[in-house]
Amino acid sequence: MELALNQDMSLLTLIVQASWVVKAVMLLLLFASVMSWWLIFEKLFTLRREKRQAEFFEKDFWGGGHKQILERVDENERRSSLEEVFRAGMREFRAKRDLAVASQAVVESARRAMRAAYQREMDQVESYLPFLATVGSVSPYIGLLGTVWGIMHAFMGLSNVAQTTLAQVAPGIAEALITTAVGLFAAIPAVVAYNRFTHDIDRLANRYDIFMEEFSNILEQEAGR
């Protein structure tokens, strides 16, 4: 009894002595956690860059830098998502106006071109967000699966034991509960990041929508001349 009570209950020992199913679950959750953190930092830098570039572009555009911006319309160098939207609309506006199309049709065509460019840019910004949502929602259940299997495995190992003690059950239950902790460790950052990024992307999309509407008004005035 004394030997049983003094057995090694360290975290590393519990992981090493866990069943292969529990180990597989923990490896899967660890992989999901690593991928989540990589995506979190990648999206964090991407959204900060998009916001900063949008601010610079709007400052130049509304601050009187139209001439310099218009000179970049036909360039292939990518500068920002908002400028790509502007370029798409301006190129379409020039092309349709040169064909002597009705002014309203010219503006509508430019608006559709901006909307298509906007959708492409937002698809890139929103890429891999569903992965964070999946990790946040599924990881606790995967961890619970490992826990249930581990507890079941621990009690099955005691089926042929005449007298069961807490020291005999504790290691199996402890190693099983580790998978629940790992599942929560993977899920919580993913959920928090997903909610934060979704909010930031919605604000960015609203900013693009406002610009497209304001720029469409400018194109209507230009087309009516």
Short-list 120, 148, 138, CA closest to 21:
148
Report, as an integer, the average pLDDT of 106-125.
Answer: 91
Report, as an integer, the average pLDDT of 206-222.
Answer: 88
Domain parsing of the chain, residue ranges = 2-223
- CA atoms of 141 and 135, how far apart (whole Å): 10
In contact, 105 and 95? CB cutoff 8 Å: no
pLDDT the model gives residue 65 = 61
Residue 6 above 60 pLDDT? no
pLDDT tens for each residue of 73-96: 767 777 788 888 988 888 888 888
DSSP classification of residue 18: S
In contact, 44 and 189? CB cutoff 8 Å: no
Which pTM value belongs to this model?
0.79
Residue 64 above 90 pLDDT? no
pLDDT the model gives residue 45 = 94
pLDDT tens for each residue of 35-57: 999 999 999 999 999 999 999 88
pLDDT the model gives residue 206 = 94
Concatenating the DSSP letter of every residue in 47-110 gives HHHHHHHHHHHHHHHHTT-HHHHHHTTT------HHHHHHHHHHHHHHHHHHTT--HHHHHHHH
Residue 193 above 90 pLDDT? yes
Who contacts 158 (Cβ-Cβ below 8 Å, separation ≥6)?
Answer: 164, 168, 169
pLDDT the model gives residue 146 = 83
Counting every residue, how long is the chain? Answer: 225
More confident residue, 4 or 158: 158
